[in-house]
Amino acid sequence: MFIEPSYQITSKKGWIEVICGSMFSGKTEELIRRLKRARIANLRVEIFKPVTDTRYHKEDIVSHNDNSIKSTPVDSSLKILLMANEVDVVGIDEAQFFDAEIVYVCETLATQGVRVIVAGLDMDYLAKPFGPMPPLMSIAEFVTKVHAICLVCGDHANHSYRIIADKSKILLGEKESYEPRCRKCFTEGMKKRNRV
């Protein structure tokens, strides 16, 4: 389990953490866990997410186990810089949906002494690297990859397998649209689909 460095309170140094993985891997739960611990330490915390993510309540980050924390939806990543005033910790959920400037935003905040915690899908439904996640993982001090459980074989899963026929890159949805799969079961599913 990730244990946060303890030097922020005294040294005011910033850094970037990335939490990535497939759907149902517990990314948001891990983000919430870290943000709640920061609040317990009396740090000032702000949380942002892209407006495209409207699956749940508009102003809450809500994870799949109903463990939620208040967040601000923003329509462009640069707004985070304007809105993150006087904060020690910035949390960003569903980062894969943000524009490319999110990398600059995270770097700027970290350089200013803010601890930035970013959660997002590392691969899309075709198992391709998703949006700004690869550069974010490159510039981060800490990267945590969390895993779901493959619904076919029970092994560790790091792929989001789309179980309905839809070819748009962004398809929000829950258990009716996706299931977590390991590499083998994902590949077998895609092969079978391409034959149909």
For the annotated catalytic residues, the residue numbers are 94
Match 């770097």 to its residue by tokens: 107
Between 80 and 148, CB nearer to Zn ion = 148
Pairing state of beta strands 142-146 and 15-21?
parallel
CA 20 to chain centre: 6
Max CA distance (Å), the chain: 60
Shortest reach from residue 127's CB to Zn ion, in Å: 14
Between 102 and 185, CB nearer to Zn ion = 185
DSSP tag of 3: -
Between 75 and 155, CB nearer to Zn ion = 155
Shortest reach from residue 166's CB to Zn ion, in Å: 22
Shortest reach from residue 175's CB to Zn ion, in Å: 17
One-letter amino acid of 169: K
132-191: which residues touch Zn ion (CB under 5 A)?
150, 152-153, 155, 182, 185
What the block records as the tokens of 35 is 């943000």
Rounded Cα gap, residues 84 and 95, in angstroms: 16
Between 34 and 162, CB nearer to Zn ion = 162
Shortest reach from residue 158's CB to Zn ion, in Å: 10
Match 């996640």 to its residue by tokens: 133
Tell me the number of residues near Zn ion by CB under 5 A: 6
Q: List residues near Zn ion by CB under 5 A.
A: 150, 152-153, 155, 182, 185
